[in-house]
Structure 1
């Protein structure tokens, strides 16, 4: 008993000729169907290239349209020829012109000879199929699909919607239970001939002619009626991505294909010279006598699909820029944002850098320029300090900064005077740690030497911006780690909140703070706030600062002078 191959060819005729010759010279008859859309001149040359092989024949040509009955009709025509012309054939193996045998043909013959009554075809009920794409599983059998999904998409969708609206439903042939599965199968002569010679074939053909993608359901459903022993799996390695498109194998997939132990793989890139030269050798050295097991490489395909759909956390590229909310992590690492600390403490960035042993930036979103640590003009990844470039894509700026400094905790200052477009992004980022001292923006105004009318206008504007920012941070959609203190509460005991922040940033360090950063002089700050109230503004974000009860600022440490001899 032998095995016959049916090849459905529509492109890369030179590669199809190589594979057909390989199977033919290995003693397997081949029936080839060539898409009627292939030019006559190319078709004639293809036929002539195989004319020296007596066991290679061509079937009547059909014009193939994806998702339509034409694929099944072409398969039926080729199968009828295979069964009538080659009487010693025990199995018929359906393949495409882009398929490639992965193991010696004799190995496939021996495998099928020990299973003479077994049909290898993926056949699963519609309720159990997780991979249907497009929202049509059961409905592909109950609705009509006279329009091409690819060429007449609007008509296709409109007609489906219309049928759903009027409650249209087709009746299935008696005794038929719809099944779905891979198009690529290997059926016994008995089962395939029973399907093609069934007296009720016209009824089944008429029904499936209006089913969507019938090549994935016609044989898969009818084999359940006529098959004696069905192995619901394909001997062909065929992987699909999340959009339902087949994975294409290239030269660098050589070892991957060998590990699968499958007999045939689809879909092979026509220019994969290394794959074709390696597998079309019938080299007995590669004989495995192993059970086909595509599950061996499923992990790699699953990882590839995940990488394509989700990407790497915090990495955005032109080739995979996700829709908002689809990203796999907004940023790639944790970072800390300090709001109000730079206004309340002198040289806060320097103190924090020494306490953490890491780099601390100034206001990265300052309206005039990006204030990198050390006053650098270009940072990791060639990030410029240009405010215009940053503001063109503030989210991209921040994600690039975090990505380019992976392994090093980034800390920076933020406030109501900065560009606020990044507020929602940071608030919804689980990697962000945001610490806020509300109202601290008033301290620089308090120490400024401006006209009070100008100070009052600036204070009103900054308070409005910070209030909106605080509403974002308190939103139920916030995913960042947020801590908020009013300025009055914070200065009562600054060491405790500072220790909490340091412990969260560097939990392994277990560093106890021995000194706090130098707080600015706040004498007269309560009267300053009262003056703002007297001018008609209500400074409420700072907390309670009664007039005449100014907070005490620790005196600067006085060092003894010493004499150098």
Structure 2
């Protein structure tokens, strides 16, 4: 009887009973503390069910509040009873009702017999390691915390801030170097008796009673004063997420828990029948001599924490959605946006689909409707072509479209007359490739039969919108890959420029030999632009055609 257990229980009493019986069957005494907040009827029933086990006892009850001294007080009471009633106990192991032994108790006893003078308690100084997650470090030892963080959070925050403003600090007792660590430890009788019978225990208790979360610092600090040899690690596997909350282990964690070689694990889901049946099996062989090594599974938990914190790239989680910058990438896949190419090339969409593959949509942000590929009205993920719904959240429309069609390349067209609420988003998105021929939208207007004054007004409107868009390309913070030409620049060797862009998007392939679609006739465009100047409108986004080669004339309708 060299090993005893203290169990702190407040819920899942059937599981706590199973574990207590398991320890007692291995001739390990158990003292159970049940939170005083638990109803008397539940407590009496729990105690009555264990009355047939002499090695299981119950300590006086304390009303426990998370983060306060009450948890340490409950532990002190139970530990003192364990050491007093069972003098053969050399090591006392602190566990909760949701802890589960992962290896036969005999293995733990043999391990402690090999280290009779060693205290296993995680104990690190506040100066050497960042312990808390979004919490207090050194201040937990120098400020006072009379209010419950869970019940009176506003009072807690206000009083903490007031102490900071007034410069109020508590003096750390002489001879005490604050340490932090896991609440779950396995300490020797000598160390525990030294802590509980110390001449200055009353002073230590008064000080730590106003420390924030003292169960992570009381024994961790005082063990340093009395222990002959400390192994700064816990024999209990406990993992925490990015918010500092403990990971809960389920049935599908069975192999992961076995691989850790730890003696206990916290926190086990009460209905994880497979875990309880496996690890509490009395016939489970005691064969392993491996050191506890939770580092074996750290990579799995690191990845889980990263996934929980960041989510999957391009997938918007409800909990992260309101917080800009928490998207883990604006979109989930690369996509291409073409501006002006529909206006310059006949049959461009069909050519693009053959050249780079994937779906080629029309103008997804057209004022009338989203022009899905194949004239679809509803796309993957039940995305409708409704302009009103799309424009309610234009950025989420795009992210949802890309997520719902991931694995397939998406391309679409965008023009100066389309919904402007998406432009900033696309420019910040590293997955976007923007190919822009500014002023190309003027070609179909120039070749239309619409009255000149009407065309002039439309060109003035679209040019102003495109100038605002082009100005954003020059601002810092643009992460998209941008290829931008004026219409005049692009009309010089357009096929070479097009192939260069498509090679970047889709990569060089056998499809490179596909003939580019015919480009629309631009003869007469310089004269039309001059006509606009004569009418008082200066066309700027099209570039300077006077500096380019002469464009051949061709027949066709002209706006006059």
TM-score relative to the length of structure 1: 0.94
Q: 2:431 maps to what in 1?
A: 431
Q: 2:409 maps to what in 1?
A: 409
Question: For residues 554 and 399 of structure 1, do their structure 2 counterparts lie closer, same or farther at Cα, with a shift above 3 Å needed?
Answer: farther
Q: 2:216 maps to what in 1?
A: 216
Per the TM alignment, residue 68 of structure 1 is displaced from its structure 2 partner at its CA by: 0.6
Deviations 1:155-182 (A, max 9, x none): 1111111111121221111111111000
CA contact (8 A) 2:489 2:548 kept: no
Q: 2:2 maps to what in 1?
A: 2
Per the TM alignment, residue 317 of structure 1 is displaced from its structure 2 partner at its CA by: 4.1
Deviations 1:288-323 (A, max 9, x none): 222111111111111111111112222234466472
Whole-angstrom CA distance in 2 between matches of 1:224 and 1:532: 86
The alignment status of 1:400 with 2:395, answered yes or no, reads no
Partner secondary structure for residue 89 of structure 1: coil
Deviations 1:255-305 (A, max 9, x none): 211111111111111111221122112324364222111111111111111
CA contact (8 A) 2:177 2:221 kept: yes
CA contact (8 A) 2:131 2:180 kept: no
The alignment status of 1:171 with 2:206, answered yes or no, reads no
CA contact (8 A) 1:308 1:320 kept: no
Q: 1:380 maps to what in 2?
A: 380
Whole-angstrom CA distance in 2 between matches of 1:508 and 1:81: 77
Deviations 1:52-78 (A, max 9, x none): 111211111111111110000110111
CA contact (8 A) 1:119 1:187 kept: yes
Q: 2:111 maps to what in 1?
A: 111
Q: 1:77 maps to what in 2?
A: 77
Which has the higher mean CA deviation after the structures are superposed, 184-193 or 342-351? 342-351
Whole-angstrom CA distance in 1 between matches of 2:217 and 2:22: 30
Per the TM alignment, residue 511 of structure 1 is displaced from its structure 2 partner at its CA by: 5.9
The alignment status of 1:235 with 2:231, answered yes or no, reads no
Q: 1:486 maps to what in 2?
A: 486
The alignment status of 1:545 with 2:545, answered yes or no, reads yes
The alignment status of 1:273 with 2:253, answered yes or no, reads no
Q: 2:100 maps to what in 1?
A: 100
Per the TM alignment, residue 462 of structure 1 is displaced from its structure 2 partner at its CA by: 1.0
Which has the higher mean CA deviation after the structures are superposed, 352-361 or 62-71? 352-361
Per the TM alignment, residue 535 of structure 1 is displaced from its structure 2 partner at its CA by: 3.2
Whole-angstrom CA distance in 2 between matches of 1:469 and 1:381: 30
Whole-angstrom CA distance in 2 between matches of 1:406 and 1:496: 30
Per the TM alignment, residue 85 of structure 1 is displaced from its structure 2 partner at its CA by: 0.7
What does 1:325-474 align with in structure 2 at a 5 Å threshold? 325-474=325-474
Whole-angstrom CA distance in 2 between matches of 1:81 and 1:411: 72
CA contact (8 A) 1:11 1:97 kept: yes
Whole-angstrom CA distance in 1 between matches of 2:453 and 2:286: 88
CA contact (8 A) 1:495 1:513 kept: no
Question: For residues 117 and 425 of structure 1, do their structure 2 counterparts lie closer, same or farther at Cα, with a shift above 3 Å needed?
Answer: same
Q: 1:307 maps to what in 2?
A: 307
Deviations 1:463-515 (A, max 9, x none): 12111111222221110001111111111221231121022113242765574
Instruction: Please give the root-mean-square deviation of Cα atoms over the aligned residues, in Å.
Output: 2.1
Q: 2:245 maps to what in 1?
A: 245
What does 1:29-178 align with in structure 2 at a 5 Å threshold? 29-178=29-178
CA contact (8 A) 1:494 1:516 kept: no
Whole-angstrom CA distance in 2 between matches of 1:285 and 1:332: 48
Whole-angstrom CA distance in 1 between matches of 2:250 and 2:72: 28
CA contact (8 A) 2:5 2:95 kept: yes
Q: 1:560 maps to what in 2?
A: none
Q: 2:23 maps to what in 1?
A: 23
Partner secondary structure for residue 389 of structure 1: helix
CA contact (8 A) 2:492 2:549 kept: no
Q: What are the ranges of 5 or more consecutive residues in structure 1 without an aligned counterpart?
A: 557-565
Question: For residues 59 and 385 of structure 1, do their structure 2 counterparts lie closer, same or farther at Cα, with a shift above 3 Å needed?
Answer: same
Per the TM alignment, residue 359 of structure 1 is displaced from its structure 2 partner at its CA by: 3.3
Per the TM alignment, residue 536 of structure 1 is displaced from its structure 2 partner at its CA by: 2.8
Whole-angstrom CA distance in 2 between matches of 1:322 and 1:127: 35
Partner secondary structure for residue 32 of structure 1: strand
The alignment status of 1:201 with 2:201, answered yes or no, reads yes
CA contact (8 A) 1:523 1:551 kept: yes
Per the TM alignment, residue 546 of structure 1 is displaced from its structure 2 partner at its CA by: 4.6
CA contact (8 A) 1:32 1:78 kept: yes
Per the TM alignment, residue 331 of structure 1 is displaced from its structure 2 partner at its CA by: 1.6
Question: For residues 517 and 270 of structure 1, do their structure 2 counterparts lie closer, same or farther at Cα, with a shift above 3 Å needed?
Answer: same
Whole-angstrom CA distance in 1 between matches of 2:198 and 2:548: 102
Per the TM alignment, residue 200 of structure 1 is displaced from its structure 2 partner at its CA by: 0.8
Q: 1:562 maps to what in 2?
A: none
Deviations 1:157-211 (A, max 9, x none): 1111111112122111111111100000000000110011100111111111110
Whole-angstrom CA distance in 2 between matches of 1:34 and 1:106: 26
Question: For residues 200 and 457 of structure 1, do their structure 2 counterparts lie closer, same or farther at Cα, with a shift above 3 Å needed?
Answer: same
TM-score relative to the length of structure 2: 0.95
Which has the higher mean CA deviation after the structures are superposed, 321-330 or 158-167? 321-330
Q: 2:282 maps to what in 1?
A: 282
CA contact (8 A) 1:434 1:480 kept: yes
Q: What are the ranges of 5 or more consecutive residues in structure 2 without an aligned counterpart?
A: none
CA contact (8 A) 2:6 2:30 kept: yes
Partner secondary structure for residue 421 of structure 1: helix
Per the TM alignment, residue 549 of structure 1 is displaced from its structure 2 partner at its CA by: 8.5
Partner secondary structure for residue 479 of structure 1: coil
Whole-angstrom CA distance in 2 between matches of 1:495 and 1:408: 26
Question: For residues 8 and 524 of structure 1, do their structure 2 counterparts lie closer, same or farther at Cα, with a shift above 3 Å needed?
Answer: same
